[in-house]
Each structure stands twice: as structure tokens, then as C-alpha cells.
């Protein structure tokens, strides 16, 4: 099996990768997934260790990374943010240097994106962004892999994102722009994606021949969509703003009425966990139009490909 060859040491954001590198990851993930379905797991990360730092809790991130590296012959160490010395008794720089002497890679799920940047800059081993407040690259790669395995080609595909312009939206925009996928994002003016991400992605979209649109109108956003995507309205750490955000975002719910504005065979995506009947109607999440659990499974296969690419140097 040909392991993807990446120029970057780390995966901090989607733009660490080129379009060709993303496609290499997708093709390799497809092979890993096919083998896994047959009960075959190549021993590609034999005796490799991954330190997993969690300042934010997670179901999918922990289980997919931990199971994924185990399938490939390695093992993961769960490091709760409350149990280690990160930023309290020890600087991020020192933590990075210490872990670099112990393990072969680091995955971090944290609040401040600067934590990921500092960790990557200071570690001599690969650092993978498992989520920060600004980006969620592993999720976006799994999402577009899910579309890729359905379409076999991403050319001409249109994705609509409806809801809060959060870290997932930022990474989806970057990934779409690099891959040449058209993306339309519907969100209220108070909760648009990061302005620098939009500016950079507009340039990337122009180069790849795709389009990027930001609109306050969800019906306009989904009009030509092959896939409609949403996420929770309240991210971890935003609980105090919950009431205000829910009121503003109430018009950005995925409903049967909204899907009537889409293409006939449009599919629905969600990165999970979902707040049923808040950002999406529960019946839609469970319908034949939903591919959310395909996305969840593909987190593991794509992350296996990423770990192999970064940790098998």
C-alpha cells in the first residue's frame, strides 16, 4: 500500500495540505477502509505511540484515533487536560519537547488554536489538530472523503453549510476551496466564518475553479446543493451565550421545508453530536437522506491515513 507523501510535518489546518496530498489521503483511506471491512489491518504503525491531549471531551475523536492506531499496530495514550501540566505547571513548549522524547506523534483537542500552533512549532514529532476553536481539519477531511466515495469525483459538487460559522465551517470552506468544490454558507451576520479564512479561501477557490458564497439566506444557500451540512449551534465553552445564539440561529434549522429548496437527491450531513430538533429535525437525521453516520465512521479511516502519512516518515 502506497502511503501518502506529505510535505508538512503537522496537520494544524487544511491549508497545510495541497489538493494532491488530500486526494492521496482519500485514496489511501479508501484502501484502509476496504481492508478493514474484510477484517484485514496492515501493521503500518507497529509499536508507534500517539499522545492524545484532550482539553475538550469527545466521543468520536477519542474512539476513532484510539481504535484507528490500534488497528494499525500502534497504541494511543489518553492525556486529560486536567491531569497533565499543560500551561499550568509547564509551558506548551516544554510539554512538546518532553512528549517528543516519549512518543511518535501528538493529537490535541483544545480551545485556543494558538495551543496547536505552539505545540507543532515546538515538537520534533508530528502534531495533529483534533479540534481547536478555529479549525477542525480531521472532520472536514472525513466529510469530503464521505462525498468523494459517493461521487468518485468532486468536480461540479456543491455543498451548502447552514448555521453557525464555527471551526467546522472554517475547515469545510478551506477544504472545498482547495478541492474545487462549490460551497455556499448560510449564517447570520453575527456568526459568520473567520474573515481571514474567507479571504484566503476565495483566492484558493479562484485557483481551483470553484465558488465560495456567504449569505444570510439559507434557502438561497441550499438551492443548488448536492449536500447540505449543519453543526450544533452552541460549541463547547459557549454555554453562557446559548440563549442568545439559539434565538439568532433559529432560522437556520435543517427542516423538511428547507430541504424542499434543494436538489431532489440532496443528502444531509452533520459532524455530530447533534442536538435533535434544534439545528436539525430528528426525522431528517434518521432518514435515507442522512449520511451522518458514514461521516462518523470515516473519521477513523481518514485519520488512520493521516497518522500513517505523518508518523511513517
Reply yes or no: is the peptide bond before residue 195 cis, omega within 30 of 0.
Answer: no
* Residue from 121, 135, 130, 118 nearest 54 by CA: 130
Do 229 and 172 touch, CB atoms closer than 8 A? yes
CB atoms within 10 A of CB 21: 17
Q: Which residues are catalytic?
A: 109, 136, 139, 231, 271, 299
- Phi/psi at 131 (nearest 5 deg)? 155, 135
Do 284 and 310 touch, CB atoms closer than 8 A? no
Alpha-carbon 208 to chain mean position: 20
3-state secondary structure of 103: coil
Amino acid at each position: 500500500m502506497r502511503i501518502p507523501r506529505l510535505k508538512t510535518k503537522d496537520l494544524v489546518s487544511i491549508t497545510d495540505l495541497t489538493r494532491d496530498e488530500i486526494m492521496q489521503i482519500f485514496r489511501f483511506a479508501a484502501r484502509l477502509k476496504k481492508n478493514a471491512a474484510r477484517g484485514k489491518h496492515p501493521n503500518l504503525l507497529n509499536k508507534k505511540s500517539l499522545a492524545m491531549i484532550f482539553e475538550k471531551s469527545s466521543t468520536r475523536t477519542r474512539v476513532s484515533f484510539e481504535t484507528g492506531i490500534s488497528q494499525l499496530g500502534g497504541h494511543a495514550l489518553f492525556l486529560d487536560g486536567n491531569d497533565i501540566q499543560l500551561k499550568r505547571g509547564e509551558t506548551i513548549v516544554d510539554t512538546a519537547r518532553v512528549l517528543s522524547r516519549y512518543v511518535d506523534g501528538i493529537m490535541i483537542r483544545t480551545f485556543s488554536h494558538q495551543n496547536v500552533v505552539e505545540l507543532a512549532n515546538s515538537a520534533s514529532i508530528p502534531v495533529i489538530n483534533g479540534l481547536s476553536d478555529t479549525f477542525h481539519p480531521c472532520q472536514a477531511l472525513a466529510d469530503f472523503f464521505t462525498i468523494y466515495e459517493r461521487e468518485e469525483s468532486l468536480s461540479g459538487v456543491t455543498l451548502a453549510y447552514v448555521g453557525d460559522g464555527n471551526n467546522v465551517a472554517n475547515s469545510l470552506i478551506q477544504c472545498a476551496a482547495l478541492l474545487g468544490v462549490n460551497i455556499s454558507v448560510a449564517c447570520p451576520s453575527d456568526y459568520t466564518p473567520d474573515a481571514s479564512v474567507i479571504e484566503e479561501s476565495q483566492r484558493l477557490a479562484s485557483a481551483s475553479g470553484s465558488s465560495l458564497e456567504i449569505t444570510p439566506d439559507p434557502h438561497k444557500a441550499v438551492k443548488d446543493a448536492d449536500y447540505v451540512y449543519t453543526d450544533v449551534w452552541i460549541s463547547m465553552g459557549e454555554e453562557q451565550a446559548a440563549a442568545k445564539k439559539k434565538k439568532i440561529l433559529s432560522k437556520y434549522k435543517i427542516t423538511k421545508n428547507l430541504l424542499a429548496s434543494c436538489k431532489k437527491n440532496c443528502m444531509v450531513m452533520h459532524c455530530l453530536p447533534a442536538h435533535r430538533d434544534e439545528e436539525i429535525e430528528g426525522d431528517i437525521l434518521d432518514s435515507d437522506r442522512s449520511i451522518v453516520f458514514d461521516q462518523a465512521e470515516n473519521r477513523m479511516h481518514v485519520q488512520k491515513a493521516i497518522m500513517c502519512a505523518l508518523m511513517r516518515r
